[in-house]
A and B are shown apart, each in its own frame.
Chain A
Amino acid sequence: GQNIDQPTEMTATEGAIVQINCTYQTSGFNGLFWYQQHAGEAPTFLSYNVLDGLEEKGRFSSFLSRSKGYSYLLLKELQMKDSASYLCAVMDSNYQLIWGAGTKLIIKP
């Protein structure tokens, strides 16, 4: 079967760094996406990785290792507005997105 695993909840301090992990087992791989979802709102696109390595975009970076079926999202200089759920999704061989349940990130002052 297809499976995406990520922690249910994480807590971090304002100004710090946090890493959210995602492991996956899917039928085929056509890229991995990270989305941010604030409570009561729609998911919004953060990053896309299809090749191994690190993609940096401002305070957010995303890493992919296809051989390990592993990705992480790194958030630096955390701000209160970063409190949200972070969703990991893998595009399978049929170009359908398989979604993890999301990681709720709580930022404390």
Chain B
Amino acid sequence: TAGITQAPTSQILAAGRSMTLRCTQDMRHNAMYWYRQDLGLGLRLIHYSNTAGTTGKGEVPDGYSVSRANTDDFPLTLASAVPSQTSVYFCASSDSGPDTQYFGPGTRLTVL
């Protein structure tokens, strides 16, 4: 099985432009998450969804939005990118909130 896929693998984006990072899982997991990983810092939660149709804010939600129209997809949108959003973005999923999280391969985003 594919598990979790993310697209694109990497992207260079001009400041002020919008972008959607895609995440799809085929494990029928209820919960999905978006993290950013920056050098010297732990993974930080941006947004999460405990089940289709619901979303919640994590530790660093400003500048990002998400939607969860179905079980499989959890896109992350940057409405107007800024250089501080340069990071590696990981999508993850788990069967439910308390369970082990499994990660996608990541998207490396550079905002210039």
What residues make up the interface of A, taking CB atoms closer than 8 Å to B?
4, 30-31, 33, 41-45, 48, 87, 89, 91, 95-102
Contacts and interface: CB of A to CB of B under 8 A. Distances in A.
Nearest to A47: B100
Contact of B42 (A42, A44, A48, A99): A99
Nearest to B39: A101
B43 to A, nearest CB: 4
Interface stretch (B12-20, B63-71, B78-86, B103-111): B103-111
B61 interface: no
A101 B97 CA distance: 22
Given A30-B98, A95-B97, A96-B58, A42 B45 contact: no
Chain B interface residue count: which class? 10 to 19
30 contacts: A4-B42, A30-B98, A31-B98, A33-B100, A33-B101, A41-B105, A42-B90, A42-B103, A42-B104, A42-B105, A42-B106, A43-B43, A44-B103, A45-B100, A45-B102, A87-B42, A87-B43, A89-B42, A89-B43, A91-B98, A95-B97, A96-B48, A96-B58, A97-B45, A97-B101, A98-B42, A99-B43, A99-B44, A100-B42, A101-B40
Interface of B: prevailing SS: loop
B19 to A, nearest CB: 20
Contacts of A96: 45, 48, 58
Nearest to A94: B97
A49 to B, nearest CB: 12
Nearest to B42: A99
Nearest to B40: A101
B41 interface: yes
Interface in B18-55: 40-45, 48
Nearest to B90: A42
